[in-house]
């Protein structure tokens, strides 16, 4: 039995948000055991000029304030994404706002970008030792902002140079009006501003810009997004954020407001991933997120078109050792199918 298996009954007696706060505290003081990172040659790849030891990443939302990225890299993750951070600190929505759907191995949250703001966040990233691993920065807009698009300009301007890649999060369902920035005209304008800022900052070596999208997009919205990211040569897509769908859920908490993550999101997010791979003709690296809890789940995302994958909700049910377990399982699956490197399996479903 792992330490997490022992602690899980106690943690589940607490609210989901309180349990998460305890986990962050434990990681800060270093009482959780480290894991050997799987950096087998079969799992390693270079994307955006970054050497990923394995494709298993920690999704944004876990380390909102960039406090424990080093600790999570030591748990076996190939990379860690911090944030989402907004220019000004905000407390988020009224509690309770995070709910475990145990019967569905899922989470519903309506946190609302609760974070300590850019000043605290950037100070944390300035402490980073780059040799410890790949860290991303995820930026968003304040709930009460009069100009949400400008919040992203402010955010990117402050975090450039402090992380290895930068994610534009316009897909959270918990900030009113935010998803409207995924619309064709609004997204075109936003990405132009952000890419111009990025290019002015990094003339010789372009800092990777990624866009995180929702899983609830229809065919035409996906086509518009693909057109815009290709137009602006955005470096990658993260697919996807949480969903507003409640299809097939069993839990009594299924009607809580907020975004749904975890197991039930897997099929929906993977369909959108597959569609975006086709729309971008495999020319844009994709990060598959949503419902991954095993090596097989990660492998399915990769075959659907993901170069990298991320997880978060599954940690609630399986503990911080899950990243290492998934990497080990994925290595076995790749070898079983005769691949010498993960890159050979990316987009296999389309070939």
Residues taking part in catalysis: 172
C-alpha–C-alpha distance, residues 188 and 216, integer Å: 20
Distinct helix (H) and strand (E) counts, the chain? 11, 13
257: left (phi over 0), alpha (psi -120 to 50) or beta: beta
Question: 113, 140 in Cβ contact below 8 A?
Answer: yes
Cβ contact 103:159 at 8 Å? no
Terminal C-alpha separation, the chain:
42
Pairing of strands 106-109, 259-262: antiparallel
Task: Give the integer Cα–Cα distance in Å for 297 and 192.
Answer: 35
| 87 class by beta-carbon count within 10 Å (0-12 exposed, 13-18 middle, 19+ buried) | buried
Q: Is 13 left (phi over 0), alpha (psi -120 to 50) or beta?
A: alpha
**Integer angstrom CA distances of residue 114 from 69, 70, 78, 180, 206:** 18, 21, 26, 20, 30
Report the largest interatomic distance among the alpha carbons of the chain, rounded to a whole angstrom. Answer: 54
Q: What is the DSSP string of 227-283?
A: HHHHHTT--EEEE---B---TT--STTTTSSSEEEEGGGHHHHHHHHHHHHHHTTT-
- Distance (Å, whole) CA 269 – CA 67: 28
CA distance 48 to 317: 32
Tokens for 190, please give them.
């936003």
């Amino acid at each position: 039995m792992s330490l997490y298996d022992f602690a899980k009954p106690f943690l589940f007696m607490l609210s989901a948000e309180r349990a998460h706060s305890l986990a962050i505290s434990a990681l800060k003081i270093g009482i959780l055991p480290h894991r050997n990172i799987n950096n087998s040659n079969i799992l390693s790849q270079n994307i955006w000029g970054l050497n990923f030891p394995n494709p298993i990443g920690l999704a944004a939302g876990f380390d909102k304030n960039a406090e424990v990225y080093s600790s999570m890299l030591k748990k076996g993750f190939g990379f860690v994404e911090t944030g989402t951070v907004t220019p000004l600190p905000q407390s988020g929505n009224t509690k309770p706002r995070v709910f475990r759907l145990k019967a569905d191995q899922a989470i519903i949250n309506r946190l609302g970008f609760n974070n300590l703001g850019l000043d605290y966040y950037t100070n944390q990233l300035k402490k980073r030792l780059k040799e410890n691993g790949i860290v991303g920065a995820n930026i968003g807009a304040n709930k009460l902002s009069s100009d949400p698009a400008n919040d992203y300009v402010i955010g990117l301007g402050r975090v450039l140079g402090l992380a290895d890649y930068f994610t534009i999060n316009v897909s959270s369902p918990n900030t009113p009006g935010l998803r409207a920035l995924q619309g064709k005209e609004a997204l075109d304008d936003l990405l132009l501003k952000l890419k111009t800022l990025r290019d002015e900052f990094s003339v010789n070596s372009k800092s990777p810009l990624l866009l995180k999208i929702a899983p609830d997009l229809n065919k035409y919205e996906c086509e518009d997004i693909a057109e815009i990211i290709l137009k602006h040569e955005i470096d990658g897509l993260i697919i996807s954020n949480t969903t507003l769908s409640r299809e097939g859920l069993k839990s009594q908490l299924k009607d809580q407001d907020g975004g749904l993550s975890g197991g039930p999101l897997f099929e929906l997010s993977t369909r959108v991933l597959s569609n975006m791979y086709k729309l971008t003709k495999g020319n844009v690296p994709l990060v598959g997120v949503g419902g991954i809890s095993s090596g097989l789940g990660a492998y399915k995302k990769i075959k659907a078109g993901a170069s990298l994958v991320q997880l978060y909700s599954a940690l609630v049910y399986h503990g911080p050792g899950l990243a290492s377990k998934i990497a080990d399982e994925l290595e076995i699956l790749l070898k079983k199918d005769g691949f010498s490197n993960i890159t050979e399996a990316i987009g296999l479903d389309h070939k």
